[in-house]
């Protein structure tokens, strides 16, 4: 199967395994910042006033999320030659969703790095209450970018669009793809509920619906690395394209 319009042949199973590795990288680079690297700034409203440590931790979190952005976009770009044989419009939609997600992530990174900069440049004569208010505002911005990017757009891109493309093409087991088709709408619904004030951000009602999406992406990463694409599905897509 030729995965390029210009005649450059790329083994579809190579694409599968590279995609699996990229998905795994998204886990490795996204979990540490969320769980503990960003904790000094997001958990302490007075962090911006200086004193103590934490800057290095936040900076490492930002570095990992930069790698996350690269891996996120990589999953969509690497998969595009295969997915466009199923639906070029949806394949392009998946790339677009990944880019939009990464824009939100980038804004979140900038907001926390700005807090670090203000903390490092804060002077003894600065008004403490004003600095704390600015810091809390920037942390709140980061929280909303997380909700709208990894907490909403992911449901549309990785959940609905990618889940549907994989389900329709049978490139991976349909039962696995159903996790995306179920998890995607749940993630989107919980995000909308937070925006409308129905549930609180960070509550169990927001995090629990993300479980199917979490399992979908993790199982997809492992499956693609170990098993690759379904050979019969690849053959079918190749025959249709010809």
pLDDT in tens, 112-127: 999 999 888 765 556 7
Helix (H, G, I), strand (E, B) or coil at 203: coil
**pLDDT tens readout for residues 146-162:** 999 988 999 999 999 99
State which H helix or E strand residue 21 sits in: helix 12-32
pLDDT at 205: 85
What's the pLDDT at 9?
Answer: 67
178, part of any domain: yes
In this predicted structure, what is the pLDDT of residue 10? 76
Please state, in angstroms and rounded to a whole number, the distance separating the CA atoms of residues 83 and 74: 14
Q: How far apart are CA 41 and CA 18, in angstroms?
A: 34
Task: Return the structure tokens found at 227.
Answer: 């098993």
- Token pair for 3: 């995965």
User: Which pLDDT value is given to residue 242?
Assistant: 62
> Tens of pLDDT along 172-221?
999 999 999 999 999 999 999 999 999 888 788 888 989 999 999 999 99
Q: Considering just the CA atoms, what is the radius of gyration of the chain in Å? A: 20
Evaluate if residue 128 carries a pLDDT over 50: yes
Domain range enclosing 49: 12-241
Q: Is the pLDDT of residue 28 over 60?
A: yes
How many domains would you assign to the chain?
1
Look-up of token digits 């619904």:
189
Residue 107's pLDDT band, with cuts at 50, 70 and 90, is very high
pLDDT band at 6 (very low <50, low <70, confident <90, very high): very low
Residue 7 resides in a domain: no
* Residue 159 resides in a domain: yes
Q: Is 176 domain-assigned? A: yes
pLDDT at residue 45, as a whole number:
85
Number of other residues whose CB lies within 10 A of the CB of residue 173: 14
The answer to whether residue 30 is domain-embedded is: yes
Percent of the chain at pLDDT > 90 equals: 75
In a domain, 16, yes or no: yes
Across all residues in the chain, what is the average pLDDT?
Answer: 90
Confirm whether 36 is domain-assigned: yes
3 belongs to a structural domain = no
Residue 237's pLDDT is what? 87
Confidence (pLDDT) at 125 = 59
Answer for the pair 106, 68: CB distance below 8 angstroms, yes or no.
Answer: no
What is the reported pTM?
Answer: 0.90
């Amino acid at each position: 199967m030729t995965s390029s319009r210009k005649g450059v042949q790329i083994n579809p199973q190579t694409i599968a395994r590279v995609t699996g590795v990229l998905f795994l990288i998204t886990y490795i680079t996204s979990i540490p910042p969320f769980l503990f690297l960003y904790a000094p700034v997001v958990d302490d409203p007075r962090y911006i006033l200086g004193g103590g440590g934490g800057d290095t931790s936040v900076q490492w979190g930002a570095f990992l999320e930069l790698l996350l952005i690269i891996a996120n976009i990589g999953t969509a770009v690497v998969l595009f030659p295969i997915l466009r044989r199923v639906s070029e419009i949806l394949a392009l939609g998946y790339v677009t969703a990944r880019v939009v997600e990464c824009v939100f992530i980038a804004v979140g990174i900038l907001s926390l790095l700005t807090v670090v900069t203000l903390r490092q440049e804060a002077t003894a004569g600065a008004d403490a209450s004003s600095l704390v208010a600015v810091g809390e505002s920037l942390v709140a911005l980061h929280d909303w970018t997380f909700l709208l990017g990894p907490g909403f757009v992911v449901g549309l891109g990785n959940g609905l669009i990618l889940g549907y493309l994989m389900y329709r093409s049978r490139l991976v087991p349909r039962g696995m793809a159903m996790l995306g088709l179920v998890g995607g709408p749940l993630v989107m619904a919980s995000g909308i509920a937070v925006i409308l004030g129905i549930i609180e951000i960070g509550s169990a009602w927001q995090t629990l619906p993300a479980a199917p999406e979490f399992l979908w992406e993790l199982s997809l990463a492992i499956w693609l690395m170990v098993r690759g694409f379904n050979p019969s599905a690849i053959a079918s897509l190749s025959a249709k394209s010809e």
